[in-house]
Structure 1
Amino acid sequence: MNETSGEFRLDDPPQDGITTVEFGNSIYNLLVSSWDCTIRLYDIKTNLLRATYKNNSSVLDCCYFETSHAASADTNGCVKVYDINTSQETQLGIHEQPVKCVEFSADTKCLVSGSWDQNVKLWDPRAPNEVTCVQQTDKVYTMTISNEKLVVGTAGRRVLIWDLRNMNNAVQKRESSLKYQTRCIRAFPNGQGYVVSSIEGRVAVEYFDPLPEIQKKKYAFKCHRVKEDGTEKIYPVNAISFHPTHNTFATGGSDGLVNVWDGFNKKRLCQFHRFPTSISSLCFNADGTMLAISSSYMMEEGDKHESPPDAIYMRPVTDQETKPK
């Protein structure tokens, strides 16, 4: 435990690469997906593993929906839902290739999955197999939902913005302002825009409104770069999570560092200590008092005989660390 911050590690972590950590409406329930073919549910207040859902293949993403349900996306192309109260599992449907991301839209009550088969599918969790399928420009790498908007980041540095109420045509088609492969996209809680990160230690702040005076506000900045022996090492920015009330956001990189940013005022608010290995996922809880941090080697340097064990850290955060100055 970090005595100054109250930070602690969760017991019974996944046994292989951690892909997603996500809080639900409860500030204490944390959902975790992993390459070890599990979805795990933790009670962070008591540091207990409440449930483990076994899968037939590695799980690349997970999300909560409607308080007591979870969804998962796996390498077999399956989209599944779980009733947390009854432990009942239902397969909603399938993609032709691994499913990289799954999100829930509270506005439209649909689950959205994005796959390396270049398709996004919309599912009604109450009526399995009812689906809308929309082809994207390339493999789907990352997605985020902002009210009725769906933002999809694909290979080839493309960003497509859709209206979930009418998926006939993309509302906007953009090229990422970052020069290298997109790693993560997350939307501002206030609905104004989104933040995108790349493998090349950069983050861009983007706005939905196409008006030229609004687009002038967008910018990009360097981060997760470490000088060692006079050489600057550049690391992928793997994870982004927004504080639910302050519109600030945390980034996690393969340098093992977590930074908190004020995107509107272009300032870094704080940097936490270095974690043992790459940060693969981040998530603030619903009241913004806790940040879940997954430290999990992401094979950046190939298969190693020894790498730090996969771990999930819970870090209490304060307004001083997360509120705009």
Structure 2
Amino acid sequence: MAGLFGSTSSTNTANTLGDLGKDVALKNPPEDSVSDINFSPQSQHLAVASWDKKVRIYEISPTTGESNGVAAFDHEGPVLSCHWSPDGKKVVGAGADKAARMMDLTTQQTTQVAAHEQPIRCARFFTPPSGGEAMLVTGSWDKTIKYWDTRSPTPVATVQCQERVYTLDVKKNLLVVGTADRYINVINLNEPTKFYKTLQSPLKWQTRVVSCFTDATGFAVGSIEGRCAIQYVEEKDASSNFSFKCHRDPPQNNMTNVYSVNAISFHPVHGTFSTAGSDGTFHFWDGVAKHRLKGYPTTGGTISATAFNKDGDIFAYAVSYDWSKGYASNTPQYPNKVMMHGIVGDECKPRPSVKKR
């Protein structure tokens, strides 16, 4: 079968090295580092948040990967997060100006919808368990998360966390918040102001990203030391928890170069997932089989953000400086681009279970 972007599916499942040759670059990308990317849950549109104080929205062709800029809105500082509303009609950005701002794509109007005392690190829309209008949750370096009805300027509720919020993700009724000092807070959105449980990250170093499973039974954690952990929410599933090494160079002279895991994205159809990191590579994994499905060669710069589109046939990744080596490494020559990778054949499909034969 002919795959996306002109490539063909490989019949050799043993071939675990993927091909970047057909990947298509986003036209007119941001002018500074890309901090976050997110596909619409309803259409082939991609939101891109950048340190250049803008959120840009592009339409992506599902057959060619070509892009066309359709809208943008401004912040007063670097934008650190972006997300789409469930109906695909609104995009929120949040960042260093301590505010979240939302564009209504129908009217092209932008309004401020959230505020914190410190920069907002992440913002996510979610549908309340009781139904009704989509709500927004924001996590900030002021050590709080806040819930917002975007029609009101005051938060519906504020929850105090142990430390600065570095990452959060939401899926169905599951909200997971990762903070400094390796705290992970799990919230059941039926009781949004209580921690359902709190744990220390199973990884020994700073949490970089958390990402919820597609079925909301658990989450993945990525850290700065080239490790990823798979964690289930309920104790009865705890025997399935595990962590593994990734994004590190082969050892040389008793030394191993270790890189940050910057992004983890779950495939919307198969439930497999990607990791991407400061080493400039991304990989697809089957968490159930504990197996790497595909690895890809270096993209020429650190990968700061990733996202699958709603159908799971496009994987977008931002090659952009992630500040992992300080300001001195952020030279004008550093690549800054967002690439569209067409998912081909069995790249993201789980391994067939031997037991089902």
Q: TM-score range by the shorter chain?
A: over 0.9
1:212-269 Cα offsets, whole Å, 9 max, x none, are: xx21210000000113755421000000100001110000010000000000110000
Counterpart of 2:240? 217
Counterpart of 1:167? 192
Match of 2:258 among 234, 248, 267: 234
Counterpart of 1:254? 278
Tell me if the contact between 1:27 and 1:287 (Cα under 8 Å) persists in the aligned partners: no
Gaps of 5+ in 2: 8-18, 352-357
1:267-305 Cα offsets, whole Å, 9 max, x none, are: 000012211111100000000000000000112222233
Residue 44 (str. 1) matches residue 60 (str. 2): yes
Question: The residue matched to 1:156 in structure 2 has which SS?
Answer: helix
Structure of higher RCO (CA pairs closer than 8 Å, 6+ residues apart): 2
Matched residue count: 323
Tell me if the contact between 2:157 and 2:193 (Cα under 8 Å) persists in the aligned partners: no
> How far did 1:306 drift?
4.4
> How far did 1:93 drift?
2.7
Cα distance between partner residues in 2 of 1:25 and 1:179: 34
Cα distance between partner residues in 2 of 1:306 and 1:57: 20
Cα distance between partner residues in 2 of 1:319 and 1:191: 26
Cα distance between partner residues in 2 of 1:272 and 1:44: 22
Residues 182-193 of structure 1 aligned to structure 2 (within 5 Å): 182-193=207-218
Question: The residue matched to 1:232 in structure 2 has which SS?
Answer: coil
Moved segments of 4+, more than 4 Å: 1-5
Q: Percent same amino acid among aligned pairs?
A: 35
Aligned-partner residue type, residue 29 of structure 1: H
Cα distance between partner residues in 2 of 1:156 and 1:81: 31
Residue 25 (str. 1) matches residue 41 (str. 2): yes
Tell me if the contact between 1:146 and 1:189 (Cα under 8 Å) persists in the aligned partners: yes
The 1:210/1:165 distance shift into structure 2, 3 A limit, reads same
> How far did 1:313 drift?
0.3
Tell me if the contact between 2:75 and 2:101 (Cα under 8 Å) persists in the aligned partners: no
Cα distance between partner residues in 2 of 1:143 and 1:183: 10
Gaps of 5+ in 1: none
TM-score under structure 2 length normalisation: 0.87
Cα distance between partner residues in 1 of 2:281 and 2:171: 27
Counterpart of 2:118? 97
Aligned-partner residue type, residue 293 of structure 2: L
Cα distance between partner residues in 2 of 1:204 and 1:168: 26
> How far did 1:168 drift?
3.5
Aligned-partner residue type, residue 292 of structure 1: A
Cα distance between partner residues in 2 of 1:71 and 1:168: 22
Tell me if the contact between 1:2 and 1:8 (Cα under 8 Å) persists in the aligned partners: no
Aligned-partner residue type, residue 123 of structure 1: W
Residue 59 (str. 1) matches residue 79 (str. 2): yes
Kindly report the root-mean-square deviation, in angstroms, between the aligned alpha carbons of the 2 structures. 1.7
